Amino acid sequence: MSDMHQPKMVSETRVFEGRLQRWSHQSESTRTEMTFSIFLPPGNSHPSVLIWLSGLTCTDENFVQKAGAFRVASELGLAIVCPDTSPRGLDLPEEHDNYDFGSGAGFYVDATNPPWDVHYRMYSYVTRELPALIESSFDVSGRYSISGHSMGGHGALVCALKNPGQYQSVSAFAPITNPIQCPWGKKAFQGYLGRDVEAWKDWDTVSLIKAGRSFSHIRVEQGTKDNFLEEQLQPQALKDACEEAGQALTLNMREGYDHSYFFIASFIEDDLRYHADALNNTE
């Protein structure tokens, strides 16, 4: 790795005997400077890694500040890596005009439609460049799981389905399960991928499962009072697709919970323990 692409530490904070660090680096995938946060647990060489993908409008900092994950991650000896949600530092046409497209809304796809195709390559960043960077810069095990929230839940499911064997487990909090059939997804995919709806299906969890993609087990947490439940998230479409395809799914419908980080904080411990069990299973 050239000096130009070496990550630089932005900050470090001690938390539950571990270290929460924020780093920046020049990304080859996005051709911009990218930022990520990493929690390194105490006294544990070669920790396994959970990749957390955040949702619309978020940065790498939302999860680390609001999820309440580090007490349990410290106990479990689990590293957590939180990338940003889009490239930054650009001024593409309409990039900053809306919360659900452009800045803060990369949707974890590799864009093919100009001008987004040059920089908006968050899928390659998350699945290829970031793990390579983590392994070259930190003393980690090389075993990964992946999770995320909303747009990030969509990203986690798609990354797992498209990369067999790369992740030991996958989960999602209130994911956008069928973006080709919801307003957020239609807007983003038309902008990033063009008007060919068939091309969109390669970035849609429900479509991937219907096309035969599979994972050993998918775990989803969903609040019943989520304002986006029916129009944007569509967990029933995921459930139906999994049942038809024989895909193992645990869909926990949490009574009375909404879309916020209060919901995530309420169930993050269960989720982290689920991933730690998978990461520690070497059979």
- Could you tell me how many residues make up the chain? 283
Report whether 60 contacts 33 (CB < 8 A): no
Strand partners, 251: 220
d(CA 228, CA 222): 11
Q: Which of 29, 103, 147, 150 is catalytic?
A: 150
Whether 275 is catalytic: no
**Rounded CA gap, 87 and 109, in Å?**
12
Residues 171, 21: Cα–Cα separation, whole Å: 24
Selecting among 25, 119, 154, 259, the annotated active-site residue is: 259
Distant-in-sequence, close-in-space partners of 259: CB < 8 Å, separation ≥ 6: 150, 174, 223, 226, 227, 228
226 is catalytic: yes
**Alpha-carbon span 96 to 90, nearest angstrom:** 9
150 is catalytic: yes
219: tokens are 């775990």
Q: What residues are annotated to the active site?
A: 150, 226, 259
